[in-house]
Structure 1
Amino acid sequence: MPDRPLYLVAGPDRGDDLLNWSPDEALPELTRRGRTPFTISEGISWLLQQPDKLEPNRCFMCIGSRLTNAGGRLDARTPAIWISGGTGRDGKDRKDAPKVGWCWAGNRHTWLGFGSTTGRIA
Structure 2
Amino acid sequence: MSDSVPVPAPASDRAPGAVVPPLPSPTAQAERLVELGVHEIAGLGADAVRDFARSAEDAGRENVLLAVHPDRAPASALAPLLRRDGRPGFVVVDMTDVDLFAPADAVTDLPDAPLYLVDRPDRGDEMANWSPDEALSALVGRGRTPLLLTEGLHWVLQQPAALERNHCFMTIGSRLRRANGSLDARTPAIWISNGTGRDGRERRGAAKIGWCWAGNRHTWLGFGSAAGRVR
What TM-score do the two structures reach when normalised by structure 2? 0.51
Q: Please give the root-mean-square deviation of Cα atoms over the aligned residues, in Å.
A: 1.0
The equivalences for 1:67-78 within 5 A come to: 67-78=176-187
- C-alpha distance in 2 between matches for 1:72 and 1:46: 30
1:63 aligns with 2:172: yes
Counterpart code for 2:126:
D
| Alignment partner, residue 227 of structure 2 | 118
- C-alpha distance in 1 between matches for 2:182 and 2:127: 23
- C-alpha distance in 2 between matches for 1:15 and 1:73: 27
Deviation at 1:71, TM superposition (A): 4.0
Percent sequence identity over aligned pairs = 69
Counterpart code for 1:32:
G
1:90 aligns with 2:90: no
Deviation at 1:20, TM superposition (A): 0.7
The structure that is strand-richer by fraction is 1
Residue among 139, 150, 156 paired with 1:41: 150
- C-alpha distance in 2 between matches for 1:118 and 1:74: 25
- Decide which moves more: 2-11 or 84-93: 84-93
| Alignment partner, residue 20 of structure 2 | none
Any idea what the Cα deviations from partners look like across 1:85-109, whole Å, max 9, x if unmatched? Answer: 1111112211111001111111111
Report how many residues are paired.
122
- SS in structure 2 opposite 1:89? helix
Counterpart code for 2:190:
I
Gaps of 5+ in 2: 1-109
Q: Which has the larger radius of gyration?
A: 2
Gaps of 5+ in 1: none
Residue among 28, 41, 53 paired with 2:137: 28
- C-alpha distance in 1 between matches for 2:161 and 2:139: 23
- C-alpha distance in 1 between matches for 2:121 and 2:152: 9
Any idea what the Cα deviations from partners look like across 1:8-52, whole Å, max 9, x if unmatched? Answer: 000100110000111010000000000000001100001111011
Residue among 178, 188, 199 paired with 1:79: 188
What TM-score do the two structures reach when normalised by structure 1? 0.95
Q: Which has the higher contact order (CA 8 A, sep 6+)?
A: 1
